[in-house]
Structure 1
Amino acid sequence: MKRIGIGLSDFKELIEENYYYFDKTKFIDEIVKDGAKVKLFARPRRFGKTLNMSMLKYFFDIKEAEENRKLFKGLYIEKTESFKEQGQYPVVFLSLKDLKATNWEIMQEKIVVTLSDFFSEYYYLLKELNENDADKFKKVLREEANLSNLGTTLKFLTKILYEKYNKKVVILVDEYDSPLVSAYINGYYNKAKDFFKTFYSTVLKDNNYLQMGILTGIIRVIKAGIFSDLNNLRTYTILSDVYTDSYGLTEEEVEKSLKDYGIGAEILKVKDWYDGYKFGDSEVYNPWSILNFLQDKELRAYWVDTSGNDLINDVLRKITKDTIRALERLFDGEGLRQNISGTSDLSKLLDENELWELLLFSGYLTIEEKIDQKNYILRLPNKEVKELFKDSFLEKYFGRGNKLSYLMEALIENRIDEYEEKLQEMLLTSVSYNDTKKGNEAFYHGLIMGMGLYLEGEYITKSNIESGLGRYDFLIEPKNKSKRAFIMEFKSTDSVEKLEEISKEALKQIEDKKYDVSLKQNGIKEITHIGIAFYGKQIKISYK
């Protein structure tokens, strides 16, 4: 039985070492037939972008062409007309996945080092260069080139490769957006944008040495001006109707792999956990998770990568009341109608109106239905993403460790005084003041949703639903009707002195509005009414 190459993204190693491989070489055939000079593929992380780029490198590269030809023996591409393109071009393959920094000064240093290391791979060209070009090359190697000169280094590399082989050059840039996302998160986006606009446009536009350019990333940084000068760029996102099965795994591929490893009977469970992504008209599975499942044979969330979740964590830090209500609907399995243009500016992606697009392109949401050219129904793709999102959300609101479990145990065991004590402690230690300032209902709604997510399974939780003579804030109904139910009403106040008074008002509202009617109709006999008043980080609970 073949080994599973977890995290292995070098195509040559994968083939030569006889690892299990899902044949994606049809992608090469499609690339060859695609007339676009420059192509950008936007897909979520861990969906095979780097492996596909590595495959393209070994296919097109004129260097060691005969040796690389053997890698494609028996694969789809070998039987196509496009196979004649194998080994025909010099290739420049640059990965920017690790180009991240907390400020622009460090980013500049990393750019210098990254390009120096990269140029060392082409050291063999140095002896054939004229004096002027050799001097340029050595400056990059020695980390002596200034940033303005480094902006044109890729074009310079295509020039000297063309002169060496008398063939135009294929440019492959993997995770082109990694430094831009890092720059946005850390507050120096405009400076980074100016450099990378030059870096990309000089090599990809009006470059007589360019055969083809291919870039991959997670998002399409288009309005930001990075590619504003490129009129030869075609972008293929998860909304596109072509290249739909080039990234991710089809059901046919997954079923075959499960059978190959003797676990074909698990297909329905695997589908529930890892399927559900819609790329164009294809439904695909997360390949990272499938490979891990084939290895471990355990159903759990594998798609966890702290560094890859930076943008999502930023979203959760800026969450609003409306966002939380939308997330509640998603967690309940409902769809969410959103306008998705596919052309968002990275600098606006973390605005509330744009975050759904970010979540979609990052793989946290998928398309359930296309309404028209810009409007879609979005949903959580599968159980794995729901678990990941749930964990990220709970950690953001309640911190790491057992704080939430202790809090909720006190509640469901009806130890309300202890619940109040632990909730107060949590507010003081886990939540920033901005989250709890007067009028910021988002925090209270986040608290509600967090409790609901924690209780999922044994309890049904509902918020802002009509019952009796009004709408309650939060209701916890046990699936086992012999257990206790809880109704909560939240109110904020403008002074600490009013906390007790307002909490009693909240409690009285539950009684006056008869919010417990629906619970009683469902046969629940034990019901606790809880009124919670907030002032900043201080609370008071009244209950009955």
Structure 2
Amino acid sequence: MGKNERKRLPIGISNFKEIIENDYYYVDKTNFIANILKEGFKVELFTRPRRFGKTLNISMLNYFFNIENKEENRKLFENLNISKSKYFEKQGNYPVISISFRNYGEKDWENGIKAIKTVISNTYDEHKFVMDNLDKRELKKFEDIWLENDEGDWKNSLLNLTKYLYEYYGKKVVILIDEYDQPIIDSYVKGYYEEAIDFFKSFYGSVLKDNEYLELGVITGILRVAKENIFSGLNNLKVHTILNDKFTEYFGIIESEVEQALKDFNLEYDLKDVQKWYNGYLFGDIQVYNPWSIINFLDEKKLKPYWVNTSGNELIKLYLKRLKNEIFNDFSKLLNKESILKRINDNMTFGNLEANFSRNIWNLFFHSGYLTLAEKYDEEEEDVFLKIPNEEILRMFSEMFIDVYFEDYDKFSGMTYALKTGDIETFRFEMNRILLENTGIFDVSGIYKEQFYHGLMLGLILKLRREYEITSNNFSGKGRYDLLLKPRNLLRRDEGIIFELKVVNVKENSSLEEIQEKLKRECEIALKQIDDKEYVSALRNAGIEKVLKIGLTFCGKEFEVRFEREKI
């Protein structure tokens, strides 16, 4: 595909027919169909993070299996991989019910059940032609759902629709359910979980369990964490998660497909740059890229966050806030690009998530796509190493960290700008403001005080990471520095920055003057340590010509800062 023949990108388009007929750029995933049929399970559940191609795959299955418009739909697949498979004979053979809850988001159950009823009613409307085939009693049941009457048999509505379609066509029905768990997750965040789970246990259970009219069911969702006995007793269910699954290549974009896309769009970027930003997901033993991010990158040609936005992050933020104290150390390690050892499994429910927050939150982060395996999954090992997948997620977690621990990401803007421009007095003012606004921290245990100072400096690091290569507790000269910031753009001749931090303990009855005096002395000691240990050698060796040395000491909500500049 030459430069002038470049295809349009299907940004925000998840309708398979629209993509094919309008000749949008499409990575062929149609072998997914053959593999489902080869597996032969009655009901299959695929759990993947947001925007990893679930909705497009459901749309593809709909156009493939649907008996309606069979010949027209067949043309969509003629030049794709599935057309070369023996399973192509299954095309257009079944009535299909396709239902999606991907756009669900309601504040309470009253509005929630209304939204759910509308989705079901619209599905009935797509199949209203079957009314010509119904007796008076069944017609009344159909119309109650179609017209959204309260007396309708809503919990059995999908089951009944499979019966109507089977009787109309004389063929068993394919059921497709996209984002089955979105209403359940949303209800949990907003506080009406019990009502939602009660409805969906019956709604999903009735249509998928022992349904004589069912040919095949394919379900997608973000989390198996929401299963909560919804599928209890469903012995014909096969679950495919991101831990170890042969369907990995059909959700997300694998490396060879990314390489081809970069060629197709004549992008000059090195693959390693794209990897750094959007790769890092290890599903089983296959490296996977986030398709939403790749498509948007191909369009805008800029390495920046695309996948991360406010929608879909509510559950993550909820648990971060509830566990801010317990997970601080692990969270800090992740943000410093370290791995953490945690227990991950596929059998978690909201019930045991509630029972052990601090352990199971990592399951939630992992299955939601915010963390990934640091090494290939070994089923024999109970614990696995987890890490932040890529730069895109690191940026999101950086903002979340500051929001959770300091409540406002923008609070750091003034302080970091002052530091970059060498305005130490403004830096002092902004630091003082943050300490005063978080004065409640200093009424709790000494352990959390230490965490607060760590978090404060980590917040600084996260805000400055784009412009500085930041390292902590590394060797330089004759010892280990606390923080070292090396400018990424050496051509601008920005100065490097070295922090030496100290937390000062004083006697309980010490006066403010005594505390301040001790802070000043410790600041001078910190600056002297930078010189004595020759920490600047790391910057000098990197070609940096100027350094800003900062001694920073804390005692409760009091602090002192001293600085020196020099050419090196």
Is the structural similarity TM-score above 0.5? Answer: yes
Letter in 1 for 2:71: E
Q: For 1:309-349, what per-residue CA distance to the aligned partner results, in whole angstroms no more than 9, with x for missing partners?
A: 22222233234345232233223332222110122113454
Matched residue type, 1:320: K
Question: Within the alignment, does 1:193 sit opposite 2:197 as a pair?
Answer: yes
Alpha-carbon distance between aligned partners in 2 of 1:434 and 1:47, rounded to the nearest angstrom: 42
User: How far apart in 2 are the matches of 1:199 and 1:152?
Assistant: 6
Task: Give the AA of the match of 1:385.
Answer: I
Gaps of 5+ in 2: 1-5, 488-492, 538-546, 563-568
Q: Return the offset for 1:427.
A: 5.8
- What secondary structure sits across from 2:328 in the alignment? helix
Q: Secondary structure at the match of 1:21?
A: coil
CA contact (8 A) 1:184 1:347 kept: no
State the secondary structure of the residue aligned to 1:9: coil
SS of 1:308's equivalent? coil
Q: Which residue of 2 aligns with 1:139?
A: 144
Which residue pairs with 1:407 in the alignment? 415
Question: Structure 1, residues 260-283: CA drift from partner, whole Å, max 9, x if none?
Answer: 222265433222222221122221
Q: Please say if 1:53 is aligned against 2:58.
A: yes
Query: How far 1:458 sits from its partner (Å)?
Result: 2.7
Conserved 8 A contact 1:48-1:287: yes
Deviates more, 1:297-306 or 1:321-330: 321-330
Range moving further from structure 2, 251-260 or 390-399: 390-399
- Deviation digits for residues 403-431 of structure 1 (CA, Å, limit 9, x no counterpart): 312112345667666445324444666x6
**C-alpha distance 343-287 of structure 1, shift in aligned 2 (>3 A):** same
Deviates more, 1:523-532 or 1:336-345: 523-532
**Identical counterparts, % of pairs:** 40
Q: Does the Cα contact within 8 Å between 1:336 and 1:379 map onto a contact in 2?
A: yes
- Quote how far apart the aligned CAs of 1:79 are: 0.9
Which residue is equivalent to 2:3? none
Pairwise CA distance, 1:381: 1.7
Give the structure 2 partner of residue 533 of structure 1.
555
Kept in 1, the 8 Å contact 2:308–2:393? The answer is: no
Counterpart pick for 1:28 among 33, 41, 59: 33
Distance 1:397 1:356 in 2: 19
CA contact (8 A) 2:499 2:551 kept: yes
Q: Does 1:128 align with 2:133?
A: yes
1:367 to 346, 367, 373: 373
Residues 122-178 of structure 1, C-alpha deviations (whole Å, 9 max, x = no match): 22122221111111111112221348x211111011111111111111111000010
Q: 1:10 aligns with which of 10, 15, 30?
A: 15
C-alpha distance 279-498 of structure 1, shift in aligned 2 (>3 A): farther
Q: Give the counterpart of 1:458 among 455, 465, 468.
A: 468
Q: 1:407 to 1:51 in 2, by over 3 A?
A: same
Distance of aligned partners of 1:417 and 1:11 in 2 relative to their CA distance in 1, 3 Å threshold: same
- The alpha carbon displacement at 1:502 in A equals 5.4
**Contact 1:491–1:503 (Cα < 8 Å) also in 2:** no
Tell me the SS of whatever aligns to 1:172: strand
1:384 corresponds in structure 2 to: 392
Assess, with a 3 A threshold, how the Cα gap between structure 1 residues 401 and 284 changes in structure 2: closer, same or farther.
closer
The residue number in structure 2 matching 1:485 is 498
**TM-score of the pair, normalised by structure 1:** 0.88
Spell out the pairing of 1:76-225 with structure 2 (5 A cutoff): 76-146=81-151, 149-221=153-225, 224-225=228-229
1:542 corresponds to 2:560: yes
Report how far residue 201 of structure 1 moved.
0.6
Residues 291 and 411 from structure 1, CA distance in 2 versus in 1: closer, same or farther, beyond 3 angstroms?
closer
Letter in 2 for 1:108: I
Q: Is 1:75 aligned to 2:72, yes or no?
A: no
Q: CA deviation at 1:112?
A: 2.2
1:262 aligned residue: 266
Indicate the SS of the match to 2:250. coil
> Per the alignment, in what secondary structure is the counterpart of residue 67 of structure 2?
coil
1:223 is displaced (CA, Å) by 6.1
**How far apart in 2 are the matches of 1:89 and 1:218?**
27
Secondary structure of the corresponding residue to residue 40 of structure 2: coil
Pairwise CA distance, 1:514 = 9.7
Superposed displacement of residue 195, structure 1:
1.0
Unaligned runs of 5+ in 1: none
Give the CA RMSD over aligned residues: 3.3
Structure 1 residues 258-267 or 494-503, which shifts more? 494-503
In terms of mean alpha carbon deviation, does 411-420 or 224-233 score higher?
A: 411-420
Deviations 1:175-228 (A, max 9, x none): 001001101111221221111111111110011111111110111036622222
Query: In 2, are the aligned partners of 1:173 and 1:216 still within 8 Å (CA)?
Result: yes
Mapped to 1, the partners of 2:256 and 2:165 lie a distance apart of: 41
Shift of 1:506: 6.0
Distance 1:518 1:29, change over 3 A: farther
